[in-house]
Amino acid sequence: MSSTFQQASPCPAPAANGECTGRTLTRSTPQDAALRAEPFKVACSSCNLRELCLPVGLSKTDLEQLDTLVATRRTVARGDTLFRAGDAFQSLFAVRTGFFKTCVSAEDGRDQVTGFQMAGELLGLDGISNDRHSCDAVALEDSQVCVIPYGQLEELSREFTDLQHQFHKIMSREIVRDHGVMLLLGSMRAEERLAAFLLNLTQRLQARGFSASSLVLRMTREEIGSYLGLKLETVSRTFSKFQEDGLLEVKQRQIRIVDQAGLQRLVNSTNC
């Protein structure tokens, strides 16, 4: 199972109150292409997500090399697919704005959510092993991605050891997250699974300068259930229980964590 507990999508330039001040992307019409490639207007050197994607302490020359590699970006409208299972693997995609889910088709035809990716995360790593993507990547809101041609990335990495090391770190992080999901699905009760999911969301928000206690879920409860291996009714019932127990305040997709320590105790009880 691919990545990861992730959190609600950050804006590239959040205001002090945590609200997004960036422009809203226009939804594609049925006549438009789902993916629109355009020249890259924000260089790696000036992107405020750089520390999440790139090695720390790069020289100006190194950043200029990366700018030539990441020359285009794509806009993906909410509900559209960035790539599908079976598509030829050519590029990695760094999420610049927005939020994605990855999913595979289960034997009964339903979509099984395997991960959620947000700004500063990479999509497309699944295609490296056999040159074909093994899952679908679907935008959960209007999003933009930086296109990173993988062949050129490999060439640059051979010359640029810091970049190669960073890529290895990203791959290792994916493996660790896969192990975390296996633990989550194999040994945790429903309450523990949802608590771990929410805590991870807030941790990721904090890393991007957002509130550690308030978030807006970009995914539906059904998608959360698919990822956590829970039925929709169980997810809804657990949210209600958390609210009754004073752990959360829930208003549709708006969540405020009231007792973070209480959620952490639920997760820690798995190891007791």
**For 179-199, how does the pLDDT look when each residue is reduced to its tens digit (9 = 90+)?**
777 777 777 999 999 999 999
Give the mean model confidence (pLDDT) for residues 248-258. 95
12 against 105, higher pLDDT: 105
Strands annotated E in the chain: 35-39, 72-76, 81-83, 91-97, 99-105, 111-118, 122-123, 136-139, 143-149, 214-216, 248-251, 254-257
Can you give the pLDDT at residue 1? 46
Cα angle 16-9-188, degrees, rounded to a multiple of 5 = 120
What pTM does this model have?
0.79
CATH code of the domain occupying 188-271: 1.10.10.10
Give the mean model confidence (pLDDT) for residues 84-90. 97
120 against 71, higher pLDDT: 120
Can you give the pLDDT at residue 18? 40
Give the mean model confidence (pLDDT) for residues 138-154. 93
Cis peptide bond upstream of 4, omega within 30 = yes
Helices (H), 88-160: 150-159
Domain-by-domain residue ranges, the chain? 35-178, 188-271
Exposure string over 3-41, b if 16+ CB within 10 A, otherwise e:
bbbbbbbbbbebeeeeeeeeeebeebeeeeeebeeeebe
> In whole numbers, what is the pLDDT of the chain averaged over residues?
81
CATH code of the domain occupying 35-178: 2.60.120.10
Residue 127: pLDDT over 60 = yes
Residue 9: pLDDT over 50 = no
Least confident of 133-137, 160-164, 200-204, 226-230: 160-164
